[in-house]
Amino acid sequence: MSDTFVSSPMRDNWYQSSSFYGSSFALITSVNEDGITSIGPYQLSFPFEVINERSWMVVSRPGSNTATNVKRTHKCALNFIEYDKDKIQTILEFGFPGQTPAEKDAYNTFDLIDSPTEGRASNTIYPKIMKDAFQVFECTLDVKRIEENPILRDSSSAHLLLNIDNILVKEEWVPYIDGTGDKMPSVPMTYGFRGASTFWFGDVNPAYKLPIPDKGAKDDVVYYEANRLDDEVKFTREACKELTGIPPTFLRQALMGILGVAKEQGLTKIDRDFVVELNKQMNG
């Protein structure tokens, strides 16, 4: 392949008409006015806020069923399925604009079920979820923050800022979330609509894991790791600075130890003094 870069003309929908963009996609379920759950595939759909706020951004053409339904009900579910070549054809058909939910329902090969979440059984507001999904994010449209933000409010696309109310993960997948196991879901890929007549999909090779490079635990790494161990007990930045000497392979175990002692003492904050004192006690 030549090393020469050339400029690619900017076009609308540039991510698929001027460049390459491969990613996973969400199958969004939402309810129309007749109470029918509709499924729409969305590639422009990604984590938006990840700390404190948990939200998701979807970029949709403004008149899609999904955008219309979500603006009315404020509720939707983002369903993620594993790669299955037979199902890709149905997903492709779901992506053809201008179909009513009833028309999609006629050829839908996915089973739709009620959400197990209390108060979220399907009705004219809450959608069904996809039985085959390995995970589902149940969301609420953040109407207030969209109205307050000119980029989201005035865009020529519908930018759906969705707060994630619930993350549902199939039970069998839960043990793999922390990466200590040997499996990841096989996520289908899309490269979008190209050349007026084709839509590109791909599967991925099985996921594999690599150890994090051993560059010594910087306090940012310690802080990140420490503050996702427990919902109630939090480590201060200063406490984490005291813990940068721990080799990465032992970091989690060491943090769990400190956390255990703090919990025994009923603490909700682990500060520098606590860590220094504990160190003293452990080193005699």
Ligand X SMILES: Cc1cc2nc3c(=O)[nH]c(=O)nc-3n(C[C@H](O)[C@H](O)[C@H](O)COP(=O)(O)O)c2cc1C
- Could you give the CA distance from residue 87 to residue 80 in angstroms, rounded to a whole number? 12
Site for ligand X in 95-124 (CB under 6 A): 95, 97
Q: Which is nearer to ligand X, 35 or 116 (CB)?
A: 35
Q: How far is the CB of 101 from ligand X (least distance, A)?
A: 7
Helix and strand totals (H; E) in the chain: 10, 13
Given 37, 66, 79, 115, the residue binding ligand X (CB under 6 A): 66
Q: Which is nearer to ligand X, 65 or 236 (CB)?
A: 65
Stretch that binds ligand X, among 60-68, 119-127, 147-155, 229-237 (CB under 6 A): 60-68
Site for ligand X in 27-56 (CB under 6 A): 38, 40-45
DSSP codes of every residue in 159-205: EEEEEEEEEEE-GGGGGGTTS-SS------EEEEEETTTEEEEE--P
β-sheet bridge partners, residue 261: none
CB burial of residue 193 (10 Å; 0-12, 13-18, 19+): middle
Enter the tokens of residue 143.
């109407």
Helices (H), 38-176: 65-73, 85-94, 101-107, 143-148, 150-154
Q: How far is the CB of 107 from ligand X (least distance, A)?
A: 13
Q: How far is the CB of 276 from ligand X (least distance, A)?
A: 51
**Chain residue whose CB lies nearest ligand X:** 95
Q: Output the 3-class SS for 263-275.
A: HHCCCCEECHHHH
Q: How far is the CB of 41 from ligand X (least distance, A)?
A: 4
The interface mask with ligand X, positions 175-214, x = CB under 6 A, is ---------------x--------x---------------
Enter the tokens of residue 62.
């403004």
- Could you give the CA distance from residue 171 to residue 241 in angstroms, rounded to a whole number? 36
Q: Which is nearer to ligand X, 94 or 274 (CB)?
A: 94
Number of residues near ligand X (by CB under 6 A): 20
β-sheet bridge partners, residue 129: 113
Q: How far is the CB of 155 from ligand X (least distance, A)?
A: 12
Q: Does 64 bind ligand X (CB under 6 A)?
A: yes
Binding site for ligand X (CB under 6 A): 25, 38, 40-45, 59-61, 64-66, 91-92, 95, 97, 190, 199
